[in-house]
């Protein structure tokens, strides 16, 4: 099942399909959330869309690989219920030889990813080292069954006239003994969304935005200079809000936000505002 919701000024939101047209990124094989389109062009690139749950088990990350979708409409308001099956994890693969089977390698890989996000001053050096190693060994990113599976229910209420999307997260079925963190991603493509602005006065462009920094302002936006559109989120009590943008070759191309909260928080809600900008 695939749903497309038309919005003003040639924009629309789409959810349901596992693939995104155009250039194929590794995340093509993940289940996406709400993808933003403009005049039929998908703006997500490598980004997973709005309202996508991701789970952490320490340094290990579990991604969604499937969705069950239901929808109903009342005039300009659409209510979508999406049950995400979280069952995939990121692996390293060598073309023609499959994924690398080395537990110590993935411990190092996941630890390096955590360091890159945690220590801004080291990001350039660590990212360059990681990219150089990937090129030298011919490694590519893939996603495989994690040997773990659970579900998270998401409800999206979309007002197609105002561009507001209310998102409700039902994480009540999560096994809290094995999950250390819940992250709800809200991403679109990095080539399209190249500017960051928040209510605290911070204005950043391109690489200045960083890959995973906490938002301390009450409201923050990513802006597309080319398409003259922005998506905006607010800080919500009970969660931390992070911003990020990464643009690395054919592997990474996302801009967006993530809400992070402990698995003890069974229900969480927020809003995404999509609006035209001058």
Measure the CA–CA gap between 269 and 236, rounded to whole angstroms.
8
Which of 152, 216, 190, 169 lies closest to 23, judged by CA?
Answer: 190
Beta bridge partners of 267: 170
The DSSP letter of residue 215 is -
Write out the chain's pLDDT in tens, 278 residues.
Answer: 899 999 999 999 999 856 444 457 888 889 999 999 999 999 999 999 999 999 999 989 999 999 999 999 999 999 999 999 999 998 877 776 777 676 776 777 777 677 667 776 666 666 666 666 666 666 777 899 999 999 999 999 999 999 999 999 999 999 988 999 999 999 999 999 999 999 999 999 999 999 899 999 999 999 999 999 999 999 999 999 999 999 988 788 999 999 999 999 999 999 999 999 98
The pLDDT score that the predictor gives to residue 18 is 62
235: tokens are 């800080």
The pLDDT score that the predictor gives to residue 20 is 46
Neighbours of 272 (CB within 10 A): 22
The pLDDT score that the predictor gives to residue 110 is 75
Measure the CA–CA gap between 17 and 35, rounded to whole angstroms.
10
Q: 3-276 has which CATH code?
A: 2.70.98
Global pTM?
Answer: 0.90
Angle in degrees, CA 229, 231, 235, rounded to 5 = 155
Residue where the block lists tokens 């009540």: 172
Q: Give me the residue spans of the domains in the chain.
A: 3-276
The pLDDT score that the predictor gives to residue 126 is 61
Local structure of 192: helix, strand or coil:
coil
CA distances from 98 to 92, 102, 104, 138 (A): 8, 12, 17, 12
Q: For residues 230 and 274, is the Cβ–Cβ distance under 8 A?
A: yes
The pLDDT score that the predictor gives to residue 122 is 64
């Amino acid at each position: 099942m695939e749903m497309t919701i038309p919005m003003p000024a040639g924009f629309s939101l789409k959810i349901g399909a596992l693939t995104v047209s155009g250039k194929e990124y590794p995340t093509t094989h993940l289940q996406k959330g709400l993808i933003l389109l403009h005049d039929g062009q998908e703006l997500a690139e490598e980004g997973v869309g709005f309202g996508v749950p991701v789970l952490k088990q320490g340094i290990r990350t579990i991604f969604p690989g499937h969705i069950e979708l239901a929808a109903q409409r009342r005039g300009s308001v659409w209510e979508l219920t999406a049950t995400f099956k979280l069952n995939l994890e990121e692996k390293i693969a060598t073309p023609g030889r499959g994924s690398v089977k080395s537990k110590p390698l993935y411990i190092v890989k996941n630890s390096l990813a955590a360091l890159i996000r945690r220590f801004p001053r080291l990001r350039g050096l660590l990212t360059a080292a990681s990219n150089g190693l990937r090129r030298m060994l011919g490694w590519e990113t893939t996603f495989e069954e994690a040997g773990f599976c659970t579900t998270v229910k998401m409800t999206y209420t979309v007002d197609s006239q105002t561009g507001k999307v209310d998102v409700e997260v039902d994480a009540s079925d999560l096994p809290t003994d094995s999950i250390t963190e819940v992250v709800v991603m809200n991403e679109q493509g990095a080539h399209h969304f190249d500017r960051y602005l928040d209510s605290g006065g911070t204005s950043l462009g391109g690489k200045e935005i960083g890959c995973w920094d906490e938002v301390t302002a009450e409201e923050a936006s990513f802006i597309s200079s080319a398409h003259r559109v922005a998506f905006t989120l607010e800080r919500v009590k009970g969660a931390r809000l992070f911003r990020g943008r990464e643009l690395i070759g054919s592997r990474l191309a996302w801009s967006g936000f993530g809400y992070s909260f402990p698995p003890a928080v069974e229900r969480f809600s927020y809003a995404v505002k999509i609006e035209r900008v001058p």
